[in-house]
Amino acid sequence: MEQQQGELIDVGALWMNESKSGNKYLTGKIDEKKVLIFRNKYKEKESQPDYRVYMKATDVPQAQIQKIAKDFGGKIVKEITVEDIPF
């Protein structure tokens, strides 16, 4: 079957998790890469994202890491623990 323009393609799956302190977050795979998704605890205005998606730096091409570092002032998350989950 030929894909039509605008057709949705399944690229991954996510599971809801809950930290020991009761905070909820998502884990899963998108395009076979492990991801963590957290509510954006720094959201201050409507134009900012509600959620942030994180993956291991080793799973991200170097060029993309450099672009992220430039776009976000060098802020790259190195490690996230369950206690860091913002909700």
The CA distances from residue 29 to 5, 13, 32, 85, in Å, are 24, 6, 5, 18
- Which residues of the chain register pLDDT less than 50? 1, 87
Please name every residue paired with 30 in a beta bridge, in sequence order, or none if there are none: 12, 33
pLDDT at 13: 92
Report which DSSP code applies to 28. Answer: E
Report which DSSP code applies to 41. Answer: T
pLDDT at 87: 43
Both tokens assigned to 67: 């672009």
Contact 33, 55 (CB under 8 A): yes
pLDDT at 47: 93
Q: List, for residues 49-63, the tens digit of each pLDDT value.
A: 999 888 877 776 777
pTM of structure: 0.60
Domain ranges for the chain: 12-84
pLDDT at 71: 60
